[in-house]
Amino acid sequence: MSRRVRVGLLGCGNIGTTFALTVRESSERLAALTGLQIELTRIAVRDKDKPRDRGLPAELFTTDPDDVVAADDIDVVVELMGGIEPAGELLLVALGKGKPVVSANKELVANRAPELYRTADEAGVDLLFEAAAVAAVPVVRTLRESLRAEPLRRLVGIINGTTNYILSAMSERGLEYGAALAEAQQLGYAEPDSDADISGKDAASKLAILASLAFGMHLSAADVLAEGIESVDAEDFVIAKRYGFEIKALAVAESWPEGSTSLEVFPSLVAEQHPLAKVRGSYNAVAITGALCGELMVYGAGAGREATTSALLGDLVDAADNLARGTHRRVPVHRPARLRPRDEVDCAFYLKLRVLDEPGTLSAVSSVLGRHGVSIRFVEQENSERQTELVFFTHPTTLRDMDAARAELVQLPEVLELIRALRVL
């Protein structure tokens, strides 16, 4: 006889509704797969009288979240409320009462992880959050399980579908940023208020989660330096393609030999032959580099109701199965954060400057770069009347030296504007 596992859900928006319906519709399939009778028992919402999908009976709903997190007839809690509070305190209650928790809440996991991890481990139950990072792309499970013993060196990912859609539209169809953003909003790839995506904040939360697992270090969204994509224009793509690059919004985490880590989100030129350069539209991918495994990449749909439900279901089955077996899988994070100073990170750069078309201008700009140890890989010059644009590609240099060079360049009388400074992967 199969064991009954009763599921309580916190929140029932678009994703919550899809998840709830899928659980109810999949009960027989999940029972055959797991030997468990997984049942959706209760759903906590703010407004019980709001019109709901007819597949979700009214008697499932409550406005009291304690009916989910503290009730004796709920075995597993799935959290889709979003935000740090009250979700954080509710999950601590659930874990403290020995209930496994499944969450898609990247903001919560990225900001209150140590307390949540500790409470789950002390209670001997699962805290699972595949859907909080890159939805259906199984990168959290890959890091927690398959690569748990691997000395990992680097994560480089495209982990926000909105920015990747916008940059893909600019690259493939020559759209300017504003037009690409408007199209993404019209098609539902971007929210009307898409600041969290555009500014890199959304990717920062996801990167903190992934890097914590990769390096076994307690990292939060506040540890990530984030730069948005607003400044990139269509001409940058033309120049990038001319030299064999695409432009992507990357999330990069690196482990350094002295035991520190660096976490950054930024737009970057990516060589066309790199697999990440071929990730189009709203798709996501994460490239993982380890000392033993070399480089591998996971790829797929990083957002959307169905993709998120896929990740939630996988975690729910694991949580229910572990609960039935009386075991759990602890989160492999044990070290305090140790961050590498930003100015010690090194990379190559693409620089674009508007300058006066006068003898000695190129020499003056090159002298500034050389004085700060920035080595020029090659330079391109385009003239128009009395002004010209200089485009430089540099060899790798530290951010400290590049920042100092940029500060001096804008003071040169020959330099009218430092238009762009993007990193090169």
The structural domains of the chain, ordered by start, are 3-132+305-325 (3.40.50.720), 139-301 (3.30.360.10), 344-424 (3.30.70.260)
pLDDT digits (tens, 9 = 90+) for 299-316: 999 888 999 999 999 999
Q: Residue 85: what pLDDT?
A: 96
Q: How far is Cα 135 from Cα 161, in angstroms, rounded to an integer? A: 11
| Mean of pLDDT over the chain | 95
48 catalytic residue (yes or no): no
pLDDT digits (tens, 9 = 90+) for 87-121: 999 999 999 999 999 999 999 999 999 999 999 99
Q: Residue 302: what pLDDT?
A: 86
Q: How far is Cα 364 from Cα 232, in angstroms, rounded to an integer? A: 26
Q: How far is Cα 82 from Cα 110, in angstroms, rounded to an integer? A: 12
Cα 58 to the center of its chain, rounded Å: 35
Q: How far is Cα 354 from Cα 375, in angstroms, rounded to an integer? A: 20
Residue 385 has pLDDT above 80, yes or no: no
Lookup result for tokens 């999908």: 53
Lookup result for tokens 């406005």: 63
Active-site entry in 206, 241, 278, 352: 206
CA contacts within 13 A on the Cβ side of 203: 35
Q: Residue 384: what pLDDT?
A: 62
DSSP letter for each residue of 358-375:
-TTHHHHHHHHHHHTT--
Residue 214 has pLDDT above 70, yes or no: yes
pLDDT digits (tens, 9 = 90+) for 152-191: 999 999 999 999 999 999 999 999 999 999 999 999 888 8
Which of 243, 287, 192, 183 lies closest to 379 in space, CA to CA? 243
Cα 235 to the center of its chain, rounded Å: 27
Give the mean model confidence (pLDDT) for residues 358-373.
96
- Which token pair is 312? 């939630």
Give the mean model confidence (pLDDT) for residues 381-393.
82
pTM recorded for the entire structure? 0.95
The single-letter code of the amino acid at 294 is: G
Looking at the DSSP bridge assignments, the partners of residue 42 are: 8
